[in-house]
Structure 1
Amino acid sequence: AADPQMRPPVALLAHAVDDPGRAAFWPLAEFSPEWVAVRWALAHDVPVRFIDLPATHSLALKEPHGDQPGEETGPAETPELPEQEATPHVDPIRVLAETAGYDDPERWWEDVVEHRSPAADATADALAPFTALAEAMTALREAYGDGGHPRDAVREAYMRIQLRTARKEFGDGVAVVCGAWHVPALAARTTLAADRALLKGLPKVKAEMTWVPWTHRRLARHSGYGAGVDSPGWYGHLFGAADRPIERWMTKVAGLLREEDRFVSTAHVIEAVRLAESLAAMRGRPLAGLSETTDAVRAVMCEGSDVPLALIQDRLVVGETLGEVPDSAPAVPLQRDLTRSQRTLRLKPEALEKELDLDLRKETDAARSRLLHRLRLLSIGWGEPAEGRGSTGTFRESWRLRWEPELHVRVAEAGVWGTTVATAATAKAESQALAATALSEVTALAEHCLLAGLPEALPVVMRALADRAALDADVGHLADALPALARSLRYGDVRSTDTAA
């Protein structure tokens, strides 16, 4: 985390060695409390440790309701925790917000925590909001129990054990960064024996961990990560703005709209700031929040239209930021080979979808095409073929590229086929050829091998094709196979591929 090449948003990726599809992410943005604490500790030479349940256990456990400390990407097949009486899922922040009369939990959090800065009042107690939250969470835990998260009991037992170890080593000068929901459990008086009893017999798998780039879009709650936020771009702005956050935000909005050829003047920015502040005062809020700035932008800069507002929501409120991890981060061999290929071919992974037009007569573009087709064969969907614009010649190819963090898991899964993209794609193509039962499947695979430039796989594929053709007398099946064969015959001229096989 201290490496200067590490730029959030990033995520810790853990996966089972024997089953890479069983994986979990722990995303961190630049404003995530855990990330800030880790960076501060490293900068000040203060020991810092993770205290949540290790991935070797969390990946092996099957969560009845799919609730994980990280974002799971595959189900576990291991024994469940002891059955408990089902408890409805509880969103504690939403409960507190509704109790206070708010319909938006994030707006409530802004008002009671984010906007109550001790810097504005020298006499204010910086820890007062956290003390109040701890008391509120204690009441909620008494009312709702585990809140529908039965695995929390095991996680919290492990946390308490780690906390005891830290206090034994460092005394009482220990700070814990965790979700407010866990505070009552960590403060509870339990015995070491009782906590160890909860951890006894937990299933285990051999796990590996690494850092992977993440995106602001994947941090948003609607993307599936339960502990995410709806507006990571907005909170990233608040975290990074040294002063005058509303003025700076409106300036960003104006810049984006100007890039889209919309007329936005300095006067628009000034008026939008004034309106946002007036709305906050009318609504009894300590400072203007996202809802006030959005209403002000709609009225002043968008002339009441939601069309440009959707662009602002997508580009700024959520954002398309893609994090970076250093080369020294652990990675499977296939990932390292893919990274080298991306650099050689100048194909930078980006969170924002983009169109890529290739001229297959050019060596670099032909190599890019082969890489993208090989990745598709490996079920790594970085690029999808798109309708070409302009020329319809066979030497033209268009792709739609978008890098998603989950593709790192797909790369880890594909690592079982080989250590390089070419060898892995070849091995998988050969395996698919032997397993195919329909003639059309084999002809489509042969076409894919030609597109991906996999000459070593073609002999196996063509033998499978000959075997299926000899045994299949169905005219319909033979007709289905013809288009792929016809397309394959022309690739030798366009891609300089040997189609003699």
Structure 2
Amino acid sequence: MNTTFIGVRHHSPACARLVAETIERLNPAYVLIEGPADVNDRLDELLLGHELPIAIFSYDDGHASWTPFCDYSPEWVALTVGRACGADVRFIDLPAWHPAFAWRSNRYADAELRYAEVTERLCREFAADNVDTLWDQMFEADPDDIAERLAQYFDLVRGAASADEGDAEREEYMARWIRAAAHDAGDRPVVVVTGGFHTPALKSLTTSGGVDWPEVPRSSGMSYLVPYSHQRLDAFTGYQSGMPSPEYYHRVWTDGLAKAADGLVESVVERLRGLKQPVSTADLIAARTLATGLARLRGHVYPARTDVLDGLVSALVAEDLSQPPPWTRRGPLLPGAHPALVQMVAALSGERVGTLHPETPAPPLVTAVLEELRTLELDGKGEVRLALTDPDGMVRSRVLHRLRVLQVPGFRRLAGPLSGADPVLDERWRLTPCEERVGALIEAAQYGGTLAEAAGGALERRIPKASIADLTGILFDAALCGITTLSGDVISTLAKRVQDASEVEVLGVVLAGVLGLWRHDRLFGTAQDPVLGAVIDASTARILWLVEGLHSGPAPADDGRLRALIATRDAVVHAQSVLSMQRTDVQGVARRIASDAAAPPDLRGHLILVRQECLLWVDRFARFGWIPRSGCGSLC
């Protein structure tokens, strides 16, 4: 079998160069790539001429996944160079919606990071802070003749770890493609480009077995191309896979190591100067000198990424750092990071955003929303004021709130009602057209085919992980969006959690929010809603049950607990019709707490004040003949 396996690290320029050189040298019959096999009949769409980075976005039955590509992704280079050489190019991995990818939103999540024991040992042996620094030392800083070193590295990584069930299923499926292609190619070469963790297993699995082409699993899911960005690719912003610092490695890919190092230093200095930070020419020279010295000390021909960054820190940061630099670990910047570190990470990440070719297919939601924005004159730039009492204003408000819920960029609410009880009848929004809008709308199509359906689907997706307080926010968002089908699901979940809640403060937030919607929200159509009434009833009973059991010594007043009692009072006063508790029962709870010496002082004092306040208002109302003196419906 004339098959060449190239194990790669995703988004590695060194691996991408090896892939290109190997394909051009072998001129293979087939180039097989780790990627979604259900997209093979759409490779022409992938190669329309987009400006990278882009991603294949797939969704099915509540699961969404991205397969991202940038200019220096080995998979993208395999695809483009393979096509240019006349090879039959195919993706050979399972579709993104397959159960093998459960709980994984990124196809190219580095397997060696999931099986980290051996990489941690290698980092100790090579005195590297993390796997990214280790990789730079072993491959990016010395990219020549790396094929053998890559094979040894991934053999070592895989030899110390067993694949989980999902990876094992994927490898068996990819092996079937490789055996079939090798059989069909005859004496001509086949090149296989996959994540290096999978390569040792694939070599073993392709020594024997069937040679029939595997079937491509199908589902009701959909896949579309979406613009991507270097920020979304960056490990410093929480990305799961591949190389950090994408803008730096893009420069390595296009300009080489030496120019990439100089470009990084200049970019950081320009950013700092743009923020009026004092950076002199001497600082710039010092940073370059330190980076070069560190590179020589570490045995690098040219300064590597960490050489440059460490040199910049030494030259530009005089005081002690409150946290270690992010390149000494993996993950995003922590709050309070030094301004110079913030600008270094920003320069490393870059601002590059991909653009799709105009002929790229998109879900119907995109065209429908863009047309709706044009019709409602919401596609421009600037501030928009909306009167919610005006039918046209309400229509425009609901469209904007649906886009906000879907996190479509460019629509920022500046002012408006914050709850159902908020007596605000207008809104102000700031509109800012941006390149990311189309991509966000494509991704929003996973939730529904229309804007209302998509917003409702996005809100429903938030329910399982939402706290009890967050559920009331979801309910209000549904009201703002004009979505009535969601309310039953949210409220049934909310009612169940109310019954199990043990925090009075949180229940007070829930009761106040739901009571506001039930009492006042004729504007959004939730006033006197019977399902909301059930939540008011359950919350009121639960708060009273909990506060009667509270006992403590003298302490500062708990504002959250007192607000819960205020909400309870309002429920008894204004929503008696939906409460199952009798007024006498509520009065009994209030009297027992007020007279209980072991009860928290803030509760005892508050209930006494509430009773006195209520008696005062009853006296005033009765004096004008509005209510009888016996008509008090509060906690008194």
Same fold (TM over 0.5): yes
Q: Is the 8 A contact 1:216 1:319 kept in 2?
A: yes
SS at 2:192's partner residue? Answer: coil
1:182 aligned residue: 198
Q: Structure 2 vs 1, CA of residues 59 and 444 (structure 1 numbering), >3 Å: closer, same or farther?
A: farther
8 Å contact from structure 1 (residues 233, 318) kept in 2: yes
1 CA distance for matches of 2:489 and 2:204? 57
Deviations 1:282-337 (A, max 9, x none): 23333312222122222334555763323323421223433222343333211332
Q: Which amino acid aligns with 1:90?
A: A
Q: Which amino acid aligns with 1:208?
A: M
Q: For the Cα contact (< 8 Å) 1:442–1:465, is it kept in 2? A: yes
Cα pair distance change 1:254/1:190, threshold 3 Å: closer
Q: Secondary structure at the match of 2:160?
A: helix
Q: 2:71, 2:250 within 8 Å by CA — same for their partners in 1?
A: yes
Distance in 1, Cα, partners of 2:532 & 2:425: 34
Q: TM-score, normalised by structure 1?
A: 0.68
In structure 2, the CA distance between the partners of 1:28 and 1:297, relative to structure 1 (3 Å rule), is same
User: Quick check: 1:70 aligned with 2:107?
Assistant: yes
Q: 1:393: how far off?
A: 11
Q: Is the counterpart of residue 136 in structure 1 residue 153 in structure 2?
A: yes
Contact 2:291 2:311 in 1 (8 A): yes
Task: Name the amino acid aligned to 1:375.
Answer: L
Larger CA deviation: 265-274 vs 275-284: 265-274
Q: 2-side partners of 1:347 and 1:321: how far apart? A: 23
Structure 1 unmatched ranges of 5 or more: 73-87, 119-125, 349-355, 450-460, 482-501
How far does residue 276 in structure 1 lie from its aligned partner after superposition?
0.7
The CA deviation at 1:384 is 5.2
CA contact (8 A) 1:358 1:396 kept: yes
Residue deviations 1:223-259 (CA, integer Å, cap 9, x gap): 5543233322322232232552222222222222222
Distance 1:154 1:436 in 2: 37
Q: CA deviation at 1:342?
A: 6.6
Q: Distance in 2 between matches of 1:418 and 1:434?
A: 16
Q: Secondary structure at the match of 1:311?
A: helix
1:33 aligns with 2:77: no
Q: 2:227 aligns to what?
A: 213
Letter in 1 for 2:162: G
**2:400 corresponding residue in structure 1:** 372
Larger Rg: 2
- Distance in 1 (CA, whole Å) between partners of 2:166 and 2:386 is 57
Matched with 2:272 is 257
Hey, what does 2:620 align to over in structure 1?
A: none
Cα deviation for residue 278 of structure 1 reads 0.9
Distance 2:427 2:59 in 1: 40
Letter in 2 for 1:101: A
Partners of 1:379 and 1:401 lie apart in 2 by 16
Between the aligned residues of both structures, percent identity stands at 25
Whether the aligned pair in 2 keeps the contact of 1:381 and 1:407 (CA below 8 Å) is yes
1:341 to 1:7, Cα distance in 2 relative to 1, 3 A: farther
Q: Which residue of 1 aligns with 2:65?
A: 24
- 1:47 aligned to which of 83, 88, 93: 88
What is the RMSD computed on CA atoms of the aligned residues? 4.6
Amino acid at match of 2:445: V
- Flag the 1:234–1:336 CA change in 2: closer, same or farther, 3 A: same
8 Å contact from structure 1 (residues 332, 412) kept in 2: no
Give how far 1:410 is off.
3.6
Q: What CA distance in whole angstroms lies between the structure 2 residues aligned with 1:298 and 1:413? A: 45
SS in 2 for 1:30: coil
Structure 2 residue aligned with 1:2, among 39, 47, 62? Answer: 47
Instruction: Check the 8 A contact 1:9/1:214 in 2, yes or no.
Output: yes
The secondary structure found in structure 1 opposite 2:165 is coil
- Tell me, yes or no, if the aligned pair for 2:235 and 2:241 is still in contact at 8 Å: yes
Aligned pairs, number: 418
Question: Any residues of structure 2 matched to 1:101-500 within 5 Å, and which?
Answer: 101-118=127-144, 126=145, 129-146=146-163, 149-170=164-185, 171-188=187-204, 190=206, 193=209, 205-221=219-235, 223-242=237-256, 244-303=259-318, 307-340=338-371, 358-360=383-385, 371-376=399-404, 379-380=406-407, 382=409, 383=411, 385-386=413-414, 396-397=428-429, 408-415=442-449, 429-432=483-486, 440-441=516-517, 447=523, 461=525, 465=527, 468=530, 476-477=570-571
| 406 and 477 in structure 1: CA distance in 2 versus 1, 3 angstrom threshold | farther
Q: Where in structure 2 are there 5+ consecutive unaligned residues?
A: 1-45, 322-336, 388-392, 417-423, 459-477, 492-513, 538-568, 576-636
Q: In structure 1, how many angstroms separate the alpha carbons of the residues matched to 2:484 and 2:158?
A: 55
Q: For the Cα contact (< 8 Å) 2:292–2:307, is it kept in 1?
A: yes
Partner AA of 2:227 in structure 1:
P
Matched residue, 2:99: 60
Q: Distance in 1 between matches of 2:147 and 2:136?
A: 13
Structure 1 CA distance for aligned equivalents of residues 117 and 220 of structure 2: 32
Highest RCO, 1 vs 2 (Cα 8 Å, sep ≥ 6): 1
TM norm structure 2: 0.55
